[in-house]
Amino acid sequence: MRLNRTVAAFITLVGISASYELSSSESDRIAGDFSRADRNSDGRLTSDEWRRGNFQRLDSSGNGFLELSEVRAMYEGHLERRTYDWPPIGYDVITVRSSITTPDGIVDQDALDRTTKCAIGRGRKCRPDSAIRRGLIETGLRPQFPADTACPGIDDIFALDYTFKRNRESYHGGIDIPVPWGTPIIAAASGTVVGIFAGENSPRGIEIVIRHSPADTGLPVWVYTAYSHLDVMPPIQVGQQLKIGQLIGPTGNSGISGKKRNRQSNRRPALHFAAVYAETKQYAVFRDIVVPINARWLDPLSLYRHSMPIDSTSMKALPDDDKVVAVSIVDQNGIASEEKSTFVWPYRCSHG
């Protein structure tokens, strides 16, 4: 395949190597997360206390509990930055075209009401109440990947209380999936790119936002998925059409610290995967955030149910057994676990 100059420059950039060492603050972060999850302070976590993905895989001892050493294993190979080859072999590489047009539905930010701006934009002067009313609440949903597959799991769950990380009351607007540097991120569903942000002064860092129409997903709403903390800016343009499973870019840790408001090189590489939905395709770009008209938050795991409802209140009210969501995946050979699935995990999974 012949690559144009933009893609070639992109490959050259990501080929630069850098050192990355586990600092005391990163080590403390893992221990701190473990301690906060350990509600009865017995030094081990049950599946209910963990509330995240990959419990069975992390439980290497098979005793039904997670020890701190087992939780640390989730980050094995993540904390040392290495040179990685790009683009990865076997992925559908995006090519830049000159015929891309501005997506329909974009409106001026004045079309947004203040509640939506605060709920989705979440400026520092906004109280979290509006975001909570618009669905930024813990749902208890948990992913279940196909048998005999190994998929990157979640560490920071949707709407996790982030007050301890901020200087104010705050909740996590997405899920975090930690993976090694450069791990290829793929589009969770087909759609149109409506936002590309360098994120130099944002906790989200380099971010790509895709709008998915009802025809793309089979849902009677417009869904917007966001992929943050990319390592470098990928060769993607606003208005570009992406297919489900298509390559987006390499995982990194771009963005600034939420509390200290500065860039932190010792943060683990991870994808921050977020989603909102709206009744209309209209959206505005407000403070470098794609904000649909009258948008609502949703737990990204609700999308893998492939049917309504997907709102957080309904998900929170589900019986516990129904909160285990069967997730469709693409394997390392690019083969989907379900041929007609409209949503897949944003990383490929391996067998075994």
pLDDT at 314 over 80: yes
The answer as to whether 40 is a domain residue is no
CA nearest to 227, candidates 181, 262, 272? 272
pLDDT of residue 105: 97
Region 130-138: what's the mean pLDDT?
97
Region 38-48: what's the mean pLDDT?
93
The answer as to whether 70 is a domain residue is no
In whole angstroms, give the CA distance from residue 68 to residue 249. Answer: 31
pLDDT of residue 219: 98
β-bridge mates for residue 45, sequence order: 66
pLDDT at 8 over 70: no
Q: How confident is the model at residue 27 (pLDDT cuts 50, 70, 90)?
A: low
- Domain containing 321 equals 91-351
Element (H, E) at 242: strand 241-242
The answer as to whether 242 is a domain residue is yes
Structural domain total, the chain: 1
The answer as to whether 183 is a domain residue is yes
pLDDT at 108 over 80: yes
The answer as to whether 20 is a domain residue is no
In Å, the largest CA–CA distance within the chain is: 60
CA nearest to 154, candidates 335, 312, 33? 33
pLDDT of residue 16: 31
Phi, psi of 292 (to 5 degrees): -70, 155
Element (H, E) at 283: strand 283-286
Q: How confident is the model at residue 267 (pLDDT cuts 50, 70, 90)?
A: confident
| Amino acid at the residue 91 | Y
In whole angstroms, give the CA distance from residue 324 to residue 304. Answer: 10
Q: How confident is the model at residue 258 (pLDDT cuts 50, 70, 90)?
A: low
Q: Which residue has the higher pLDDT, 164 or 48?
A: 48
Q: How confident is the model at residue 2 (pLDDT cuts 50, 70, 90)?
A: very low
pLDDT digits (tens, 9 = 90+) for 56-93: 778 999 999 999 999 888 777 676 777 888 999 999 88
**Are the C-beta atoms of 246 and 92 separated by less than 8 Å?**
yes
The answer as to whether 73 is a domain residue is no
**Which tokens in the block code for residue 70?**
């087992």
The answer as to whether 259 is a domain residue is yes
pLDDT digits (tens, 9 = 90+) for 315-338: 999 999 999 999 999 999 999 999
Region 182-211: what's the mean pLDDT?
95
Q: Which CATH number belongs to the domain containing residue 253 in this structure?
A: 2.70.70.10
The answer as to whether 101 is a domain residue is yes
pLDDT at 346 over 80: yes
Question: How much of the chain, in percent, has pLDDT values that exceed 90?
Answer: 66
